[in-house]
Amino acid sequence: MTKLGVVGGGTMGSGIVQIAAQQGMNVVLWDVRRDVVEASVTRIRGFLERNVERGRMRAADVDATLARITATTDFAAMADVDCVIEAAVEDLAVKQDVFRNLDQHCQPRAVLATNTSSLSVTEIAAATGRPEAVVGMHFFNPVPLMALVEVVRAGQTSVDTVDRALGVARELGKTPVRAEDTPGFIVNRIVRPFYNEALRILNDGQAPLETIDRIMKGHGFRMGPFELMDLIGNDVNLAVTATIFDQLFGEPRFRPSFQQRRVVQSGYLGQKTGHGWYPYGGVGGQATGVRDSGTTDTAASQQIRTTCVVIADSAAGGDLARALAVGGHDVRLYMADGAPFDAGPVRIVHSLADAVDGADLVVDALTSPVDRKRELLRRADAVLLPGRAIISLALTISSTEIASWCGDPTRVCGFGYLPPVADAKVIEIAPALQTGERATGAAVALAASLGKEPVVVGDGAGLIAARVVALIANEAAQALMEGIATADDIDTAVRLGANYPHGPLEWADLVGLDLLYAIIKGMQEEFGEDRYRPSPLLRKMVAAGWTGRSVGRGFHRYEA
C-alpha cells in the first residue's frame, strides 16, 4: 500500500495518521473543519518532537514525516488512496454519511475501513454501494503505543477485503486479529465483567472499591477496575456497556450498573474532570486521599508457624501445601480419594483422622462438589481439637455455608486466591457470619506466612479476584463458541488490547476449567440469576475432561 486516507482529526485519527506517516506511507487526513485538521497536524508534530527529546527519533525525521501528510477538507483528495480508515465520532448517522462520500470519491479497489468500537460494521457498510469493500479496523488508544487492531468482518465483507485490511494493519506495525461483527467485537465484549462485576461487588457491599482495585492488581492486572474506569472516563465506559447491552437485546451478563450511571450524572467522569470513583488533585491529576479499608496492617506481627493439615483434591491444593511447607509450617497433606501428587517436601498422610490428630490448623483446599467437601470437613472437624481453626477455600460456596457444616462454626474462616498460588500477591480472607476473631486472625496469619498480603473481604461465592476472572473467561468461552474469533486471536486481543497478564482462555487453562466452572455455578446458585450461567462450551469441556494445562488440553493443547 502506498497511500492511506484517514477521516477524522481527533485523537484516534491523529494517532493513525502519525503511525502511517512514520511507517513511510503518504497519508491524506480529512475532516469537515479546517481548524480540526490543522490542530491534528500540530498535535502530531508535538508527539514527534517529544520522541526526538526522548531519543526515539532524529530531528531531521520530523519534517520528513510531516511532509508525507496532506491535510484537507475536500473529499476529492481521497480519490487515489488504497485504503481509507474512518475515525469520526461514534455516531451511526455521521459514519454512514462519511461512507456515502467515500463510496462516491474513492477508487473502486480501495478498502473502506471504520474504526468504530461499538457500532455495527454491517450497518455502516449498508450505506455504500460496495459493502463488500467495507471492513472494521478497530485501533486502541493511544494508537502509537497500542499494538492491537481488531479487523472486523461485516456480513457483506469479502475475503479479499479482510485479507487486505490485515495487510494494512501489519504495514502500520500493528498486530491484527480477526473478529466477526458482533457487539463489542472481541476486547470490549470480553472485558465487560472486569468493570461490571467489580461494580456489582461494590453494590453488594462485599468490598469497598479501593479493596477491589488492590485485589485485582494483586492478581496481575496493571490497574484496578475503578482506577481504569476513571482513566477511560466513566461516561465512555458506561456508554460502551449500555450499547452492548442494548445490541444484545438486554442480555443480563452486560446489564449496566445504576451506580455508575449515578456517578456519571454527578459529573464525576474520572481523571478528565478531576473526580471519578476517586478524587484527583485537579483535572488529569493523581488520585488523592485513597485508603484501602480492606487491607490488614497487623499481618506481619501475627505470622505463625504451625502443624497444619492441608486437605486437597487437585494439583493447586498440593501446590498450596508445598508453599506452606516452604513458609515454615509442618505440613501434613491429605489428598482426597488418593489423588496422585508429587508432594516434594510435604508429608502425605493417607488417613484423614491421622492427619488431623494433634494438628494446630486445618486448611481446606478442596474444590470438590459440595457434598464431598461437606463430608470431608465434617470428618476433620470431628477430630480437630477444640479452639483450633479451619481455614476453608470459599470460591465455589460461601464461607457461611461452609461454617454451618461444623460443630463449632466460629472456628471456620474462608479464604481465596486465584491459582497458582505462586502468582498471587494477595490472599482474600472471607469470615463467615459465624466466624470468631481468633479464626480470622489465624487466616490472616496463614496468608502472611506465605509472603502474601491478606485482605479481608465480605463473604460470597467467588470472592473478588476469582469471581471476576471466572466471568471474563466465561465470556471468552462464549465468544469462542459463537465463532467470533479463534482461541489464539481472543487471547492475543485481550493481552494486547487490555494489557491483561494472560489471555482469558490461556488463563482459564492455567487456573483449571473445572474450578472456574464450579465458581460460576456457585455464583449462579447463590444469586439465582441468569447473569451467572456458564457457557455451554465451558460445561462441555469440563465434562470431556479437557480442564486445562494440568491435563494437556483445555482451550489450547499442551505438550506432556
Structural domain boundaries in the chain: 3-181, 185-286+462-534, 300-456
Predicted pLDDT at 298: 43
* CATH code for the structural domain at 300-456: 3.40.50.720
Q: Specify the amino acid at residue 57.
A: M
pLDDT at 295 over 70: no
117 included as an active-site residue: yes
Q: Which residues contact 443 (CB under 8 A, 6 or more apart)?
A: 389, 391, 413, 414, 415, 429, 431, 454
> At which residue does the C-alpha cell 446458585 appear?
525
What is the model's pLDDT at position 345? 78
Q: What is the pLDDT of residues 393-404, one digit of tens each?
A: 999 999 999 999
* Residue 297 pLDDT: 47
Q: 560: which DSSP letter?
A: -
How crowded is residue 540: how many other Cβ atoms within 10 Å of its Cβ?
13
Paired with 74 in beta bridges are: none
Which helix (DSSP H) or strand (DSSP E) does residue 112 occupy? strand 111-114
Residue 151 φ then ψ, to 5°: -95, 115
User: Among 386, 364, 382, 244, which Cα is nearest to 313's?
Assistant: 364
Q: Is 150 annotated in the active site? A: yes
Interval 306-349: pLDDT, tens: 899 999 998 889 999 999 999 899 999 999 877 666 667 789 99
Q: Among residues 14, 51, 117, 234, which one is catalytic?
A: 117
Q: Which of 14, 120, 188, 550 is catalytic?
A: 188
Residue 523 confidence (pLDDT) above 80: yes
| The pLDDT value given to residue 1 | 76
Q: Identify the CATH homologous superfamily for domain 3-181.
A: NAD(P)-binding Rossmann-like Domain (3.40.50.720)
Residues 6+ apart with CB under 8 A from 250: none
Catalytic entry in 105, 115, 118, 150 = 150
DSSP code for 257: P
Identical fold at 3-181 and 185-286+462-534?
no
> At a CB cut-off of 8 Å and minimum separation 6, what does 228 contact?
194, 195
DSSP 533: P
- When the pLDDT of each residue in the chain is averaged and rounded to a whole number, the result is 93
pLDDT band at 299 (very low <50, low <70, confident <90, very high): very low
**pLDDT(287) > 80:** no
φ/ψ of residue 348, rounded to 5: -90, 130
User: How many angstroms separate the CA atoms of 393 and 416, rounded?
Assistant: 6
282: Cβ contacts below 8 Å, ≥ 6 apart: 274
Cβ-count burial of 107 within 10 angstroms (0-12 exposed, 13-18 middle, 19+ buried)? exposed
Q: C-alpha grid cell for residue 321?
A: 501445601
The pLDDT assigned to 337 comes to: 74
Burial group, residue 545, by CB count within 10 angstroms (0-12, 13-18, 19+): exposed
From the list 105, 138, 219, 275, the catalytic residue is 138
pLDDT attached to residue 185 = 97
CATH class of domain segment(s) 185-286+462-534: mainly alpha
Contact between residue 393 and residue 400 where contact means Cβ atoms under 8 Å apart: no
Per-residue cell: 351: 488417613
